[in-house]
Amino acid sequence: MIRTVSFLALFVGIAPAHAQLGGGDSTLTKVGKPAVKWYDRFKIRGYAQVRYNGLFATNDSLGCAQCDRSWGGENGFFIRRLRIAFSGNVHPRVYVYVQPDFVSWAGGSGYVAQLRDCFVDLGLDPRNELRLRLGQSKVPFGYENMQSSSQRVPLDRADPINSAIKDERDVGAFLYWSPAAVRKLEKMFVDDGLKGSGDFGVLAFGVYNGQGANQMDQNRQMHLVARAAWPFKLGKRYLQGALAGYAGEYVLAKSQLSPGVRAAPDLSYDDRRALVSVSLFPAPFGLLAEYNVGRGPEFDLDRDSITTRELQGGYITAMYRIQAGEQEVMPFIRYQRYSGGKKFEQDARSYDVEDIEFGVEWQPNENFELTCEYYVADRSYIDLKLPVNHQEGSLVRIQAQFKF
């Protein structure tokens, strides 16, 4: 019975002080108090997002499969995310983080549970300023990519940067270094509502499979990624600049190829990008801008084939934070431009995107948030089956988010 109670308590993070895995008497400190176990330090948190994208939509053929599969058509309400994170220091130098998403969309199969993060951080010095991360986690490329969707103001990540890495994650080994003072700042940017991206080091280097989250490696050739960032204080405000880049060989999946499309014999393509990022944290005015250039697989209409082609694009987001007691209102506007392929979509679709969106995020309290935005899109996205696919339109998008 004790084993059963302790096992369940491990997952809810409320194991009683006297319980031990495996049973037996509790371990006592010198003063006779039960010792703190690793599961006593574990935390559970999560968030969920419910969306409606069909209000005042002018073009039902307009969509964004990578952004939100409930765009277009006759779709109604949609649960975009339901994520629960289990995390904690099981040892002063060992931090564990596991996060599944319980509503990943699987087409006709509906919602399915899927792993998002599963990693361990190993502190390599007494202050954990240098740490090694092993497992599936976000790749340190792009501020908005690393920023939690619970923190981001626009409803979806922008195409120019988010097209780099499927689901922003991969399996690999990443080395991060951050002075203790900077780690404290990064935590403050998140906790104080400044739309931080989290602590991904002021210097980062990693190797990873390169195929995206929940995918096996296909060529035994690791992708390499490096990033350098630093937050600067400007009076009472903070500005952070970053440079990042990655390189590797991406292997297309056979299942994403249309019959008749021509591709490289081994389905392998050069995949590399370089990025610059600037973030002015909203106090009260904020600005986030990123731009990347590179090359990767992209559908070529003139040849009915997938070739390695140049890509480029970026976005700029402006926001203004208004606080009134516990409530917070943040109007925003974002412009994005992207020309290039999306390697993980059908035939590595060729995209030409120029979109603008504006709206407002309202938080009546820290546990609930309502966002409403007006989206104006001008998108061309073509593959072998859809060689002509230029879609323009606008729509109102609404999202309710609750945190726990």
Q: In the chain, what is the straight-line distance between the N-terminal and C-terminal CA atoms, in Å?
A: 30
Give the residue, 45 or 69, on which the prediction is more confident: 45
What pLDDT sits at residue 20?
30
- CA-to-CA separations, 368 to 112, 150, 400, in angstroms, rounded: 24, 11, 7
CA dihedral 64, 69, 74, 78 (to 10 degrees): -130
The pairing of strands 77-91 and 43-55 is: antiparallel
Q: Check if the beta carbon of residue 250 is closer than 8 Å to that of residue 343.
A: yes
Alpha-carbon span 311 to 293, nearest angstrom = 6
Alpha-helical (H) ranges within 1-127 are: 2-12
Q: Mean pLDDT across the chain, nearest whole number?
A: 90
Alpha-carbon span 119 to 318, nearest angstrom = 33
Q: Check if the beta carbon of residue 81 is closer than 8 Å to that of residue 90.
A: no
Q: Looking at 56-70, 89-103, 219-233, 278-292, which range is the least confident one? A: 56-70
Checking if the pLDDT of 23 tops 90, the result is no
Domains in the chain, please, with CATH? 1-36 (no CATH), 42-403 (2.40.160.10)
- What is the DSSP secondary-structure string of 168-236? GEEEEEEEEE--HHHHHHHHHHHHTTS-------SEEEEEE-SS-TT---SSS--EEEEEEEEEEEETT
Closest CA to 281 of 168, 176, 197: 197
- CA-to-CA separations, 385 to 123, 132, 250, 260, 265, in angstroms, rounded: 50, 44, 22, 10, 21
Checking if the pLDDT of 277 tops 60, the result is yes
What pLDDT sits at residue 69?
86
Alpha-carbon span 322 to 330, nearest angstrom = 6
pLDDT band at 34 (very low <50, low <70, confident <90, very high): low
What pLDDT sits at residue 32?
55
Checking if the pLDDT of 192 tops 80, the result is yes
pLDDT digits (tens, 9 = 90+) for 248-262: 999 999 999 999 999
Checking if the pLDDT of 25 tops 90, the result is no
Phi then psi for residue 169, to 5 deg, are -130, 160
pLDDT band at 5 (very low <50, low <70, confident <90, very high): very low
Checking if the pLDDT of 394 tops 90, the result is yes
pLDDT digits (tens, 9 = 90+) for 295-318: 999 999 999 999 999 999 999 999
Checking if the pLDDT of 238 tops 70, the result is yes
Q: How far is CA 195 from the centre of its chain?
A: 13
What pLDDT sits at residue 264?
96
- Mean pLDDT across the stretch 60-76? 86
